[in-house]
Amino acid sequence: MPQIAVKKLKATNNSKAEMEFAVEVEVLARVRHRNLLGLRGYCAGADQRMIVYDYMPNLSLLSHLHGQFAAEARLDWRRRLDVALGSAEGLVHLHHEAAPHIIHRDIKASNVLLDSDFAPLVADFGFAKLVPEGVSHMTTRVKGTLGYLAPEYAMWGKVSGACDVYSFGILLLEIISGRKPIERLPSGAKRTITEWAEPLIARGRLGDLVDPRLRGAFDAAELSRVVECAALCVQGEPDRRPDMRTVVRILRGDSDAVPAGPGGGKGGRPPVRIESVKYADRLMEMDKSSSYYGEPEDGDEEEEEEEEDIDDEEVEEYSLIDDKSSMNFGAFGAMPVQTMHDPYAKRFSSGNANNAVRI
């Protein structure tokens, strides 16, 4: 008998939570793809809001990289590449094949579910945006998870398909390295995954990026391809990022898919470089998900029981554009809105280790 998973909405008396519930149901009803989580049913009673999906026996990518299955190393190199490619193909459907096109806005490890065969299904469309015909980008309040947010989205609320591409690039680095998008160092400082990866990539030490749990069992050519793809995806300027169709071609090994110009390592061009993101201290203080690399977080087992609903990374909502309210609510409970008073400065600098975007 097929198993199901039920996501129950909290705070049903809140208009924003209601909106996110309605958006998720609408998006789920529109999309049909092997790498997108489908809708089994929903309940919108007087005091109940629930969404019914197929149950995913292997929970999420997060649970295997950082959660209850992390120590078991079930995700070998081949499975990791398959998860990356399948997730990318799901995003291709959202960005280019669905009508209207859909921007997910919250691509992260906990929103990639894994079925019994470890096939990936992109899930959780509560923050999704349906893009009207002829519209290339929109400006909106910023929702998502710190560490995955594209610079133009975090700074100015400009959302487009390129925002999902950026988040996917971070996800690629997370898949190959087993590290979180933001980690806390022993000194107490926090570091993004791009800050960690940038010097290793600049020195050509790609093997040092690979999750040690794989014990060296990876393909060097495939690793180079995935790292190059990630570097292209996380470029600071959205117009320079590939679209998801190109990302799929790169991951499949199509050498012609790598765009010409800086950032590509093909045909005698300079080796790949990655642009690291440095979040402002105030944003870093809002992050609840970072941990010392390799150390379990308190309460991991308890949190993972609710993997289908929410992971140990807080779903944040930021008011980076205006100061109209001091509190807002996401679909899964109360989340404080932090208003930034200082203007954001975007900094591109040359050099191997200082190619950074400051947010």
Given a contact cutoff of 8 angstroms between Cβ atoms, the answer to whether 359 and 279 are in contact is yes
pLDDT at 271: 63
Sequential pLDDT tens for the chain (359 residues): 678 999 887 766 677 788 888 888 989 888 999 999 989 999 988 778 899 999 999 999 999 999 999 999 999 999 999 999 999 999 999 999 999 999 999 999 999 999 999 999 999 998 999 987 666 566 777 888 989 999 999 888 899 999 999 999 999 999 999 999 999 899 888 999 999 999 999 999 999 999 999 999 999 999 999 999 999 999 999 999 999 999 999 999 998 888 765 444 455 455 678 887 777 666 776 666 554 444 443 333 333 333 333 333 333 333 332 223 222 222 222 333 333 333 333 433 334 445 555 56
Output the DSSP codes for 27-60: HHHH---TTBPPP-EEEE-SS-EEEEEE--TT-B
Given a contact cutoff of 8 angstroms between Cβ atoms, the answer to whether 55 and 5 are in contact is yes
In the numeric block, the tokens 């992109």 are attached to 122
CA 320, 322, 327, 330 torsion-angle sign: negative
Q: Which of 106, 124, 164, 311 is catalytic?
A: 106
pLDDT at 270: 57
Residue 353 backbone phi and psi in degrees, to 5? -110, 0
* pLDDT tens for each residue of 215-273: 999 999 999 999 999 999 999 999 999 999 999 999 999 988 887 654 444 554 556 78
In the chain, what are the domains? Answer: 58-358 (1.10.510.10)
Told to judge if 106 belongs to the known catalytic residues of this protein, a careful annotator would answer yes
**In this structure, are strands 142-144 and 138-139 parallel, antiparallel, or unpaired?**
unpaired
In the numeric block, the tokens 């010097």 are attached to 199
Output the DSSP codes for 211-223: -GGGTT-S-HHHH
pLDDT at 267: 52
| Number of Cβ within a 10 Å radius of residue 44 | 14
Q: Identify the H or E element spanning 196.
A: helix 193-202
